[in-house]
Amino acid sequence: MHDMILFYSFSKGFAKPVPMDYYDLVLAFLKQDSFYQTVIHYDDLTSCLQQCLLLKPTLKEDILQAMDEFQEDKSKILAQCLLKQVLSFDFFDLMMCGVVLDNHIGSDEVAYHFGQLASLMSYEKILEMLHRPNYRIVMLQSESLGKDVDLSKLKQLPNITIYETTEQSQVREKILNADIVITNKNLMNEDTLHDLKQLKLICLTATGVNNVDLDYCQDRQIQVRNIKGYSTDTVAQHTLALALHLIEKNNAYDTYVKSKAYERSGQFSFFDYHFHDISSLTWGIVGLGAIGRRVAEIVSVLGAHVQYFSTSGQNNTDDYKQVDFDTLLQTSDVISIHAPLNDQTHYLFDKEALLQMKKEAYLINIGRGGIIEEKALVDVLNAGYLAGVGLDVFEHEPLEENDIIYSIENMNKVILTPHVGWGSIESRQRCVDETYQNVISYINDEKRNIVV
């Protein structure tokens, strides 16, 4: 009777006519204790199976063997279901299918849930998932996401090894036997990847791909996936925070109050450090991708006149004024950089470009460090040009001991943050969750966030 209840509950959970092949799965899956105890907690079959493999590495082989062994039992149970008027059978779309009848023989919650999940995948996909090899996964830099994010989804993946940090010199040793590598900033080039014939996928916990030799990966059929959109609001928010800190002269006024100069002044206001309304400024945006567009939306609400330069020439819109690079430099009061680092953008802001900017302009870089030639920037600042500079990204990350950035003479004109613009707790958690989905979709042979 219990087996009949399993078939009935599975069919009811399926919620539509059940093609006969699916009944091969019922006993084969549900007679596995690890699967029966786990499946109720999952919303997709793939994730559940990944978790079950941690408990029982041979589970897929056991299920496939059970599908053969339970063939005779399956036929008997289906016959009983027909005789007891639990199920009927009819043709739908030229396929024989099982149909649930109104019967009160009882139900099994787990079998019902399994039916729901099975209905979301084709029978062929489920078989393919069972025959697919178990991938060996290595995560090289979990600490780059912060210690306060929840990695439990990634830890559900079978055969995963997670390292908090990995120096570049250690990368090759750690991924020698990996099928899938999850990384952030480690260089993935020919020196690192040569002869790693088992490597199938590089998953980046970032949008930028400048640390990966894409041509080499494409030639070796190593797929690369990144994550997109997870930090758009966060980066836009940090862009505004850096700019407003400089424009409003917050540091100077804060120092004035804390030094007790305000106390001694006898005046209720002090205006020696002038600042401007955003609505009086022209805001130039370099790179009108998702982040650049979000910044444009925000500063437009504050009244700024927005213009942009597309580094790729592909992101165009009639919503804002498009200008060439020289015009942007010469006419913008604030310039914020939201472009990727590539051959077109490397040292885009060299000394010649920086000197074209208004002497009292503000420059914010939250894109990539190499877009600004830092030696030229230091020279220009030390010569008295630019009202302020906000940097969240640098040519060397972390900064070197004697980094050129430390040569800026007037540090009150700059605000420096350690590549945190993308990293609110919500953004970093989205990064983890998106990376997990990229791995799972690869395992399921689904296209998602593929770079090459």
- Token pair 């472009």: residue: 339
Active-site position among 368, 374, 395, 428: 368
Active-site position among 190, 297, 360, 397: 397
Active-site position among 136, 172, 220, 419: 419
What whole-number distance in Å separates Cα of residue 258 and Cα of residue 314?
A: 48
DSSP H or E segment with residue 352: helix 351-356
Side chain identity at 439, as an amino acid letter?
V
Q: List b or e across 24-41, with b for residues whose CB sees 16 or more CB atoms inside 10 angstroms.
A: bbbbbbbbbeebbebbee
What whole-number distance in Å separates Cα of residue 354 and Cα of residue 144?
A: 32
Q: Which two tokens stand for residue 357?
A: 């900017």
What whole-number distance in Å separates Cα of residue 16 and Cα of residue 306?
A: 54
- CB contact at 8 A, 388 and 362: yes
Known catalytic membership, residue 346: no
Known catalytic membership, residue 368: yes
The partner residues of 349 in beta bridges, in order of sequence, read 372
CA atoms within 13 A on the CB side of 386: 31
Phi-psi region of 85 (alpha: psi -120 to 50; beta: other; left: phi over 0): left
CA–chain centroid gap for 228, Å, is: 6
Known catalytic membership, residue 397: yes
- CB contact at 8 A, 201 and 380: no
> Hey, which residues are catalytic here?
368, 397, 419
